[in-house]
Amino acid sequence: MVRTDGIGRPYKELRANQLRCIAVEKNYWQQQSGIRWMQEGDRSTTYFHSVIKKKKWKKTIPETLIDAQWITDQDIVATSVVQHFQMAFTEDKREEASPDLMDCIPNLVTEQENAFLMAVLTIQEVQEVVFSMDKKSVAGPDGFNGTTLFQSFWHIIGDDVYKAVCSFMAGNAMPEGMTLTVISLIPMFGFYIHI
């Protein structure tokens, strides 16, 4: 609701001031708790034990409902939680789409295009892509250009690269380290870029 009676602006200023004061108070109490931790820290004090007990309590599931009965035995609770998530992430819960629904979705890919898209890659296609990459691309964390490595030693690593690409295209995860990214600061002169 917009106030048109002339008190809208002072109201907004008061509300903004109130929110600022709340943020300052919150910051103050966070700092105070940090000071108390610095003073009393992990010495064997009641404060230390109360902090640890509170953290431990937050990480526990004290009880669970199984067959309309509350269970508090931690071994049974742990077992039931593990079983629940194993079933949730291993069961095949896909349902067949009804034919009526499938009729509503237009076919945008022809059979020929689909066959082309589903075809297994050849080693020549992978090699063609690798060799089409710019040799002057960004260097890796060790300062070595990965594109040059793949192109220069294709006769040694080509089969492994091909197998990794085919495995990924079949739905498997990329080999560890293959998708790592390096973010580097590039000095800019005369202007700034806001990211």
What is the rounded CA–CA span in Å between residue 51 and residue 44?
Answer: 11
CA distances (Å), origin 10, targets 6, 15, 20: 8, 8, 15
Task: Confirm whether 79 is domain-assigned.
Answer: no
Q: What is the pLDDT of residue 88?
A: 76
Report residue 192's pLDDT band, with 50, 70 and 90 as the boundaries: very low
Task: Confirm whether 83 is domain-assigned.
Answer: no
Q: What is the pLDDT of residue 185?
A: 54
**What range defines the domain where residue 127 resides?**
109-195
Task: Confirm whether 1 is domain-assigned.
Answer: no
Task: Confirm whether 22 is domain-assigned.
Answer: no
Report residue 97's pLDDT band, with 50, 70 and 90 as the boundaries: low
pTM: 0.39
Task: Confirm whether 5 is domain-assigned.
Answer: no
Tally of domains within the chain: 1
What is the rounded CA–CA span in Å between residue 76 and residue 72?
Answer: 8
Task: Confirm whether 189 is domain-assigned.
Answer: yes
